[in-house]
Structure 1
């Protein structure tokens, strides 16, 4: 396949995915407006190659590990922070590309969806562990401050599981599906947007500003966890009353 044919095929694939995009109900801003488009672009190009959705998932995890690894292994600095942020965002974009490539080729499967969720769950926890180790190695923050990434990791992991499990349990009923998200859910859920949290890494070179921003995200995500648990429980409890 020559370059012109490949470019034409990628454009057609991009347009096809744009028409078949999933609902944006309740999807945070960066994930919906930026990350889905980046994932669509990657999937459109990958569709012209033998790459599979599982390859996209693997690439997502490799890029994420590279970004998180910089937080753990390299002393904080501006170039390092920019590099870590770019790698984390690249991993996030590949995470969107795997599902879009599967949709484009019609090869989606329970096994692929399961693998995607397993990698996502690992990413949610490992990011905060990387922050914890980086703070411990390269700063002189107190032990109390080190509790923040530990708590954030717990909150993030539990909320991710609560969301995914509720969607699976209510998959055949719209009551607890994506359309049940409140009208302003896009903005309410902004603190849980992985893309926005990755941008906070740009402050990694300056410990105090980073901790203030990261701590604010942690507190807001704790509130979101409480709200998610209440909302999802009520929705699933309502399903039980249906005949």
Structure 2
């Protein structure tokens, strides 16, 4: 799931049209978004995989919006399968693979934009709209699939468990909206105060690892367990609880960060 600006430009399209896969990949490695705040899977697995897809798509002449559309096809095909296909080992592997590839391509669209000389506001808008649909529909697909296939076959699983994916959908939606709002409001306020658009600093690796249970990439990988629905339900519940707990903590942090910028602005305007 990509957020915010798509990163530094890597030259104009005219300058790079003759470039091959290897050269494109090397340039992408030299100009990546800041790792600040990124969970471990997203940082060390999804972004490198996205670079490979980006270099391929670029050499094949695909545009960033086309890459976004391809990403959506992989993701939503997997989600339709979660809702409509009986769970099994093969289905779980294919669904997990579809979600992983869709997530990597979601990272690739912005990198293709950089290779072509910069992104567009319409591309950014399209990317975020598709992410918004994905964040809600993924968990609703889990609820539908379990209601249709798992609950009738596994009476040990209480029907009240369906509240877990419904609650997870709310958590995912609030987190995504809060992340975008905080990023954009903070950027605008910092620029108005004459500060750098993004606060300096890095995220320790231990914190990146600590965020693993809340990482969308880990959620994608969990779907390979659909062949064992009760195991998947357990893992999915753990991820839901971890994500809800993290949301509570990060909402407080976001509020404090924005409040600090407001105090700085108020102090600067005081007579």
TM-score normalised over the length of structure 2: 0.83
Give the C-alpha shift of residue 229 in structure 1. 0.7
Gaps of 5+ in 1: 1-5
1:170 aligns to what SS in structure 2? Answer: helix
1:153-172 paired onto structure 2 within 5 Å:
153-172=169-188
Give the C-alpha shift of residue 7 in structure 1. 11
Provide Cα deviations, 1:25-53, integer angstroms capped at 9, x if missing partner.
11111111111111111111111233110
Give the C-alpha shift of residue 188 in structure 1. 3.0
After superposition, the CA RMSD in angstroms is 2.0
1:83-94 paired onto structure 2 within 5 Å:
83-94=94-105
Q: In the alignment, what sits opposite 1:211?
A: 233
2:243 paired with 1:221: yes
How many positions carry a matched residue from both structures?
238
Deviates more, 1:229-238 or 1:199-208: 199-208
Does the C-alpha gap of structure 1 residues 156 and 181 become closer, same or farther in structure 2, counting only changes over 3 Å? Answer: farther
2:34 aligns to what SS in structure 1? Answer: coil
Report if aligned partners of 2:143, 2:165 keep a CA contact under 8 Å in 1.
Answer: yes
**Separation of aligned partners in 1, 2:85 and 2:209:** 34
Report if aligned partners of 1:17, 1:100 keep a CA contact under 8 Å in 2.
Answer: yes
2:96 paired with 1:74: no
Report if aligned partners of 2:37, 2:202 keep a CA contact under 8 Å in 1.
Answer: yes
Provide Cα deviations, 1:163-198, integer angstroms capped at 9, x if missing partner.
111000111537994756753431232222111111
Give the C-alpha shift of residue 139 in structure 1. 1.3
Q: Which has the larger radius of gyration?
A: 2
**Separation of aligned partners in 2, 1:219 and 1:179:** 30
Residue 214 (structure 2) aligned to one of 169, 192, 195: 192
TM-score normalised over the length of structure 1: 0.92
Return structure 1 stretches of 4+ with deviation > 2 angstroms: 172-185
Q: In the alignment, what sits opposite 1:61?
A: 72
Does the C-alpha gap of structure 1 residues 163 and 175 become closer, same or farther in structure 2, counting only changes over 3 Å? Answer: farther
